[in-house]
Amino acid sequence: MADLLQQVVSEIQKLILDVRRMSFQQLKKARCSMKRFYIALVVIASSLWVWLPLAHASQCRPLPDFDENGVVDISDFLLFVGKFGSKQGDETYEDRFDLDGNGTVDISDFLIFVNDFGKASPDSGGENDVNIPDANLRAVIADSLGKGREEAISRAEMATLTRLEARNAKISDLTGLQFATNLTYLWLTGNAITDLSALCDLTNLTRLVLYGNAITDISALSNLTNLTQLNLNSNRVSDISVLSNLINLRRLWLTGNAITDFSALSNLTNLIGLDMNGTNISDISALSNLTNLTYLRLSNNTISDISMLSGLTNLTYLALNENCISKLSALSNLTNLTQLNLNDNRISDFSPIVANTGFGSGDEVDVRKNPLSAESLNMHIPALQSRGVDVQFDDEPELVCIPIFPKNLSVDAGSSHTLQSNYLYVDHKKIKLRGSRISAVAYADFNEDGHIDIFYAPGSGQDYTTFPAELYLNDGAGCFSLDTNFFNRNPPRRIAPRKALPGDFNGDGRMDVFVLGHGYDKPPFPGEAPYVILSSANGYVLGSGLDTFIGFHHGGASADIDADGDIDVFITNSPFGTPFFLINDGSGSFTQDTARIEGIIREQLYTVELVDVDGDNFLDLLAAGHEYDSGGGNLPTQILWGDNTGVFSTAKATILPSVSGRGIIVDIDVSDTDEDGDKDIVINRTGDPTTNNYRGYYVQLVEQVGVRRFEDKTAQLLFENEDTDAYWIKWIRMCDCNSDGHVDIVADDAARNLIWENDGTGTFRPR
């Protein structure tokens, strides 16, 4: 890389020398030379793109439109060339050409210039007219000024604005707003804004509302130190370090952003209100000295330790619902609390809330969906109620009714994971479906001839068209033919199936198949019901009782979850509801059970597997989906460990390694890749909104290096695992494709034929 940089620098120097030898008039006459300079700029920009972030200057830096003609063009380049190499103290030095302000007009300034080349200056237009290229923003400003929407707007008129509201106005470009220097109130909710650079000098702002945009970079706000209220809810912000400068903030909203580091908040000691719902926070130590807080909302995160809240004695409202909290001792001293939400946590001991002498008449406490002890139910809650506190709780906690299950020595038998991990490898491109594209696939010996057949559930989801299921029978030589008599030639139809689960659901010793899907894949996302095809003496019949379970069912898995000898089903139901189990009565009839899953509610859960990962003879639940999601609901890829309670909880989970920019998990599979006796994990990823949403594939290998200990071994053991431009892979499966006794990785996808073969050591290379 150093050699390449030196080569590019040499080209720059050569280009500059050539320019210095010619006047601008000569260049105008020599069209080929002009063309060369434009081409050179493009080539250099492409070559140096990787270094441009190193030369990044403040978003508030003016464009290098040196001749003030409204655009950064070749004439500005010629002016820049004349100053290249000058330093502070030189007669030729001018600080306007020193774009990074380091005292020298050098290569880093050239990189900045290249980055801005071709951009229009926001000041372009008449001498006093303001350029507002976004028609929707111009309309809002014109209306606020009482002007016609086609009339010119002057800088003086912009300076009269003190308040501006533009809600759901489809604004994407804020250029021109930089001249509204006297704004104190700016409300821009529900737009398509990404760039805040126009706001960087609006230092009179005290209230700024940017809820519901597509903002990732908030560095332009660093100078807005008069802000007292800032709303960034529902954006795509991950870095909030710039907020440490905004020490006058009194209220801050960050809900629905995938923030990676919260340390900047520790400096905001004037805050009285903070909303961080669904921000993926687990460590709240940065909040410990925010002692002026009266309102704090931390719902829908992964918090387990709240000890650092013990000093926030001014709190009157505290929301901690949908976390992983079990200990409440830190709350006993928060005597100013009047509203406390602890719904959906891991709390059994409620005594610290009783010990809080501040709770009294008219106060509210919500402790529903917690495994409260008998003492808490029979003593602590009545004690609070006797003081006039309104306590919301479950009279019959769900956990109390869950039986204790023994270890199941055949825990994986008959599960959908076991049945999909067969030896069969199929090139789906060679099978021509009668319906649409393949949406769901299942493998099993459906006609009991000893050969693995293929069940397809086609679909699209782009409209309301339904497609029938299809069964292709294996002749034993690897050739598959459509069973035209399947389901009496009238098989079930769906809009968009997503998962087909083979298994013996009615206990007759023959293969059935359970199909779930999400239906129409556009707003309002109405969903659709699953169905089960059951074997019978006369072929196949459609199981009953599933029509009421309509939802956006993107993923599922099946196994004997309650250890009663039949196969049950888990359904994701994301992102609009709570995932749930369907408990089988042994005949293929199912009853919904939501008590066996805790901590995953309305999350972006899209793919699951039920496998005994740690070898303790209890099923574990692998849960994955959107690790990063712009609308909140971020879900770390994790294993919820099974035990004798039969309950899967995020409080008993291990988080698996993530991959930056590849935060959407489409599928996941488990097998012993290195033959050391431990089950390892392959994760099928695609791009998330921080890079290229749902574009490309990234196959990740996570190795179990000890019981319940995992390390990402992709770089060392899985080669050519990524293609950022390809279509994402629907399914990933591990099976022995080449009959060498070692498990391989298969992209089980109709769109391509990808296999990574295992060399016997757990190292995978593409076939």
The model's pLDDT over 227-259, given as tens digits with 9 standing for 90+, comes to 999 999 989 899 999 999 999 999 999 998 888
Tell me the domain boundaries of the chain: 2-116, 130-235, 272-400, 413-594, 606-767
| pLDDT, greater one: 539 or 176 | 176
Q: 194, 236 in Cβ contact below 8 A?
A: no
Closest residue by Cα to residue 675 from 766, 610, 765, 758:
758
Q: 309, 332 in Cβ contact below 8 A?
A: no
User: Range with the lowest mean pLDDT among 54-58, 187-191, 434-438, 479-483?
Assistant: 54-58
Which value, to the nearest 10 degrees, does the dihedral of the CA atoms of residues 499, 503, 507, 511 take?
110
Indicate whether 404 pLDDT > 50. no
Note the maximum CA span of the chain: 98
CA 48 to chain centre: 30
CA distances from residue 600 to 327, 437, 497, 529 in whole angstroms, order as listed: 20, 31, 23, 21
Q: 733, 748 in Cβ contact below 8 A?
A: yes
Which architecture characterizes domain 272-400 according to CATH? Alpha-Beta Horseshoe (3.80)
d(CA 138, CA 171): 9
Q: Using DSSP, how many helices (H) and how many strands (E) does the chain show?
A: 12, 40
Q: How much is the average pLDDT of 20-39?
A: 44
Would the CATH topology of 130-235 be identical to that of 272-400?
yes
Three-state SS annotation for 101-158: CCCECCHHHHHHHHHHCCCECCCCCCCCECCCCCHHHHHHHHHHHCCCCCCCCEHHHH
pLDDT-based confidence at 405, cuts 50/70/90? very low
d(CA 334, CA 315): 7
Q: 192, 213 in Cβ contact below 8 A?
A: yes
d(CA 296, CA 315): 7
pLDDT-based confidence at 362, cuts 50/70/90? very high
Q: 354, 384 in Cβ contact below 8 A?
A: yes
Q: 499, 528 in Cβ contact below 8 A?
A: no
Residues 6+ apart with CB under 8 A from 610: 415, 416, 417, 557, 558, 559, 561, 570, 619, 620, 621, 622
| pLDDT, greater one: 384 or 414 | 384
Share of the chain above pLDDT 70, in %: 83
- Please report which helix (H) or strand (E) contains residue 711, including its range: strand 709-712
d(CA 221, CA 241): 11
d(CA 210, CA 750): 42
Topology adopted by domain 606-767: Methylamine Dehydrogenase; Chain H (2.130.10)
Q: Which amino acid is at 359?
A: F
Q: Which residue has the tokens 């629905």?
A: 256
**459-518 pLDDT per residue, tens:** 887 788 888 888 888 887 778 788 878 878 888 988 888 888 898 999 998 989 999 988
- Peptide bond before 382: cis, by omega within 30 degrees of 0? no
Q: Would residue 661 be called left, alpha or beta, if left means φ above 0 and alpha means ψ between -120 and 50 degrees?
A: left
d(CA 577, CA 561): 21
Q: 373, 349 in Cβ contact below 8 A?
A: yes
CA distances from residue 687 to 342, 692, 726, 729 in whole angstroms, order as listed: 34, 5, 11, 11
- Peptide bond before 575: cis, by omega within 30 degrees of 0? yes
3-state secondary structure of 12: helix
pLDDT at 1 (0 to 100): 44
The pLDDT mean for the chain works out to: 83
pLDDT at 260 (0 to 100): 82
Cβ neighbour number for residue 249 with a 10 Å cutoff? 24
At 32, give phi and psi (nearest 5°).
Answer: -65, -35
d(CA 322, CA 410): 34
| pLDDT, greater one: 69 or 549 | 549
Topology adopted by domain 130-235: 3.80.10
At 141, give phi and psi (nearest 5°).
Answer: -65, -45
CA-angle at 138, arms to 134 and 142, nearest 5°: 175
Q: Which two tokens stand for residue 607?
A: 């793919």
Q: Would residue 134 be called left, alpha or beta, if left means φ above 0 and alpha means ψ between -120 and 50 degrees?
A: beta
pLDDT at 394 (0 to 100): 85
Pairing of strands 453-458, 539-542: unpaired
**551-579 pLDDT per residue, tens:** 888 889 998 888 888 899 999 876 566 88
d(CA 146, CA 160): 12
Q: 172, 134 in Cβ contact below 8 A?
A: yes
Cα dihedral 9, 11, 16, 21 sign = positive
DSSP type of residue 62? P
